[in-house]
Each structure stands twice: as C-alpha cells, then as structure tokens.
Amino acid sequence: SPAAPPSTPSSPPPRAVVSAPSAASAGTLTSETRAVALALNRYQNAFSELDANAAHAVWPSVDVKALARAFDQLETQTFDLEGCDITVSGPRAEADCAGNARYVRKVGNKALRVEPRRWHFTLRQTNDQWVIDTVDAR
C-alpha cells in the first residue's frame, strides 16, 4: 500500500474530514469527532427512511409535523453525505458535508431525481450524545 504523507504528530490538524457512513470505524478520529459523525449518520438514516420521529430524535428542534408532511410526498429518498468536515469546540460542533439527495415523488413525475447538496450542521452535546441544532441544506 502507498505510504501516507508524513505528518507532524505534535500539531494535529484542528479539522477532521470524514465520510459519514464510515466515520464510526475510522480509528484516527477523536472520540468527539466520531460522536458527531454518528449524529450525522442518524440524520442521514432518518431522512433516507422517511422517518420523522427518528429525525426528531437527533434534531430536536425540527418541525415534526411539517417534516412528516414533506416525507408523505415522497416514495423514496436517500441522503448520501459523502464527506463531512467536522469542527468540534467543546460542547458545540459544526459540520460541512457534501453529498447528494436522491428522491422519487409519489405524485407526478416518478423519475429518480439526484441533486447535489451541501449541508451545514450546527450541533451541541447533551449528556453523552450529540444532537443537531440547525441544518442548512443548499
């Protein structure tokens, strides 16, 4: 396998770039970064399963009724967070993620739509887990 570029252990980079689905198994990340990545995975899974209650569990401030109505319009949806740049500062964190939203509407054009998106999350730590405060998707 090719050698990794040399790094200076005395000054670890303050930002970690992780791919959300595999973040939990990446050993080089801090436990905080891994915990934030797990919250992002929960968000991704909730939206991919069209589960408003699961979304609410990881994103307490979301409007569950509005989200459930939005999910009702969709036959299927998949969020792929392909890479997340996570910054943790104490009990707060931010994550910038790139990826795709894929979905099929129940009514009208049934074609699979794939839209590249960028997500910006702000998160906070409560007890032993991270929850999402805000999500800005473009």
Which of these ranges, 8-22, 27-41, 54-68, has the smallest mean pLDDT?
8-22
Query: Shortest CA distance to 23 belongs to which of 51, 2, 45?
Result: 45
Mean pLDDT throughout 41-47? 97
**Do 138 and 117 form a contact (C-beta atoms < 8 A)?**
yes
Q: What is the pTM of this model?
A: 0.77
SS3 content of the chain, % helix, strand, coil (to 5): 30, 40, 30
- Give SS3 for 35: helix
Find residue 58's DSSP bridge partners: none
For residue range 85-123, list pLDDT tens digits in order: 999 999 999 999 999 999 999 999 999 999 999 999 999
Confidence tier at 28 by pLDDT (50, 70, 90): low
Average pLDDT, the chain: 85
**What pLDDT score was predicted for residue 104?**
97
**Do 18 and 29 form a contact (C-beta atoms < 8 A)?**
yes
